Structure 1
Amino acid sequence: MVEDQQVELELPPLDTLAARLEYLFDKIRPTPEELSDSDEPGRRYTNKEIADKINAAASDTGVTISAAYIGELRRGVASDPRMSHVRALAAAFGVNSGYFVDEAAARRIQDQIGLLNELRRMDVKQVALRQVLADSGLSATDTQLIEQMVARLRAVAEGSDANSASDEPDERR
């Protein structure tokens, strides 16, 4: 409980749309697929990159946005965007649009982003699996069993990839 309170104290306030948007720019990074060979891994998105992501989906969403407008939203110069822009920004960052309008949703997403960034930093996939299983309500015993099954499946898959170039299943099990 004390740890939860400490984590909450460390989270910055998200009391404006500009603060929430800036938090996403600060914490969410381009994926390796989005980076070019000359890009620095772990760098921040630019306004133009987010605008380009939103505009690339315009044929499906009907929403376009400019990098300049995103900059105005980040600085608080513009503070009342259309709901379609809010949804598009949320989609570009991969968060629920409730993040921008609901305090509880913003805190949940902020907590999730913090956890994901920590997991990425540590490169610990096992912790993520454990968290998902715990969140689904499984007992500690069931969680451990599933973790062992995943580890076994991974080992079998790696073994069959290394031992066989064909699509035949490994019969040695």
Structure 2
Amino acid sequence: MDEHSPARDPGAGPAPTRTLADKLNALILEYWSGQKPPGNAVIAQRIRAETGLSISTGYLWMLRTGVRDNPTGSHLQALAKFFGRSPAYFIEADAPEPDDQLAAALRSRDVVRIALRSDGLSDHSKKAILSMIEHARMIEKLDADPPD
């Protein structure tokens, strides 16, 4: 084990997500799916750059290894914003995992940006945007049958 990441058997499959450290490490593996995640310094820098919220390399290491398991509200906010989760996800012992399709969609920064930018719009505007998305999916032949 180095100072950048906790020890983990790469062939062991996903670990049960019970502790904050387990959840955080699972999200990091999911975020960098198909590639080796970078070290804590790079992850902390990305969190700061993409959320505008501060988290240090050392504090991220402590959270990932379980040395610290009760992050401050601002740290929870930074993690939640970066990984597209509710802050409650990190503190609830049995917080439900989002379904795989939603988790895959949330890995796309553009999908997250579309969702965040639609917040606050009227129902009429949201329906118009959804209609445009459905039309684009039809043009690109992404769905066999349109959703209900």
Q: Would you say the 8 A contact 1:54–1:89 is kept in 2?
A: yes
Is 1:70 matched with 2:56?
A: no
Which consecutive unaligned segments of at least 5 residues does structure 1 have?
1-9, 31-40, 121-147, 156-173
1:107 aligns with 2:96: yes
When the two structures are superposed, what TM-score results if normalisation uses the length of structure 1? 0.46
Residue of 18, 22, 25 corresponding to 1:22: 25
Instruction: Flag the structure with higher helix content.
Output: 1
Larger Rg, first or second structure (1 or 2): 1
Deviation at 1:93, TM superposition (A): 2.2
Matched residue, 1:129? none
Residues 17 and 23 of structure 2 are in contact (CA less than 8 Å); yes or no, is this contact kept in structure 1?
A: yes
Higher RCO structure, 1 or 2 (CA under 8 Å, sep 6+): 2
Aligned residues: 104
Gaps of 5+ in 2: 1-12, 108-133, 142-148
Percent of residue pairs identical: 30
TM-score (norm 2): 0.53
Match in the other structure for 1:91: 81
Report the Cα offset of residue 116 of structure 1.
2.2
RMSD: 3.6
Which one-letter code corresponds to 1:21 in the other structure?
Answer: L
> Which residue does the alignment assign to 1:49?
42
Which secondary structure does the structure 1 equivalent of 2:35 belong to? coil
Moved over 6 A (4+): none
